[in-house]
Structure 1
Amino acid sequence: MSEMPSFAAHNGFRLPAVGLGTYRLNGDAGAAAVAAGLDLGYRLVDTAFNYENEGAVGAGIRASAIDRSEIIVATKLPGRHHAAAKARDSIEESRHRLGVDATDLHLIHWPNPSVGQYGEAWQALVDAQQRGTVRHVGVSNFLPEHLDRIESASGVRPVANQIEVHPYFPQQEALDLHAERGILTVAWSPLGRARELLQEPVIVEVAAGHGITPAQTVIAWHVARGTVSIPKASSIEHQQLNLDAASVVLASDEVEAITGLGRADGRLFDGDPATHEEM
């Protein structure tokens, strides 16, 4: 496998172009999948308090042959823990569940703007970073106004914003804003509506031209656009295919053609961060 491309944030923090998503990877099977992925070559593992699998992820990290210092563990603070005291406890709880001295990247999962406490949650992450129990701080599903508010209040800019990005919802404006500010874009659900998306003629055609699968084509599209993708994969076969896709170079017209699949209603669900609440 070729060396994994990576992208850098405004402070020099780097993420590999492809990480391992772990949503619904739970229990012993989840731990085994994480360990297998790390041994194959993954160095970014993404989880969340609300996935209820931080324990399994931590067990997988310890079971792998990879030194802890080489692994970036990302997790997320849930909406119900935005208040300052709850946020501090939640950050510590995630660390204990994972069995790590510090989380490498800790995100606010959703801004939940109607609750209005994401500023407290952000300050709790910044404080944890200063204590050394969180190495890098970021957000997820934040809109420009949310990013502006937390940076203005704290003086600290997130290193990453994990948002919904896939060919049906390419989010070009968000990617441009993040690039301008040195904020890494991490794509959740990077394959979108996989069954439907992977049958799109343009994706099938590009895949055939490169001798790769449609799923690999979409991952290569993310890499070409400078976004970190975190597809979930439990089988070694799919994990390896996803890793291999990072080294595929698409032509600019191929990237544009896939981006052209974007739809006004491209979201997977009614997950507009301006109104969606997830506790």
Structure 2
Amino acid sequence: MYNQIIEKFIAAQHAARQAYQDAANFEREALAGTGTAEPFFAVNVRSEYREEEELKKFCFALASNVVSRARRQFAPVGARLDIDNDAEYDRAGLDIGKALKKGEIPDLDKLWASLTAHYNGDGGAATAYRQAATRIVRTLGLHRNPEVKRSSAGVVLKKAIYTETAWNSSRRKVCYHSTQMTADCLSGLATFAGKAGNVALAKRLESIDLYRLEYSSREKLTMPGLDITLFNDKWEFKFAHDMAEALMLFVGEYGQEAMQERH
């Protein structure tokens, strides 16, 4: 399917080249005898170099779309699946530039077959859960301090946060340097919550917009099975005991490699 799309694109290039050539020929014939000469004709035929670069750009864009389809199609419902384009090209033995230089069509059907073989079924789900567990472990520092604070009300995990004063307000917001790590933390927890069957919590976590969120110190976000208390320099995640137990099981099953990290 994808190889046929490239073939159609190449055919369109050839047709366009011929159409431009016909227009250029007509212009020159129509203006014969008027004294018009190169480079004063208006119609130009695109060079082979421009067509080659256009085709190369198109093939890379289409290959990226193939990987993006895999991210969507093979991720568990509501979860994020990170797939690296270059790593998947290597796995499939795809070298777009090399294929084009040889006059061949880059085999994107083979790329899709490789992605399907690796991520279809349980492959995509297991990968997404490992990635989520890794984000949770790293952003909450579980690999550095596996002991968690337990109380009668629940289990508390903490994450350091850099904040700054919101524009034209005394309230705080997460600063640029903490945004990605915080987003990774929330994303990992949302995937865990979905896996644990707490769909309401997963949706609430996914809905937090760090670019719009403004708060006062000690403000609390209350969610099903989780309260997040927002301080100026940290966030405290208090899990209900059942959710904490489920989280530890999730990390134990999918985050063992990340837990071995000590930096």
TM-score after normalising by structure 1: 0.24
**Which structure has the bigger radius of gyration?**
2
More helix by share: 2
Q: Identify which of structures 1 and 2 has the higher relative contact order when contacts are C-alpha pairs closer than 8 Å and 6+ apart.
A: 1
TM-score after normalising by structure 2: 0.25
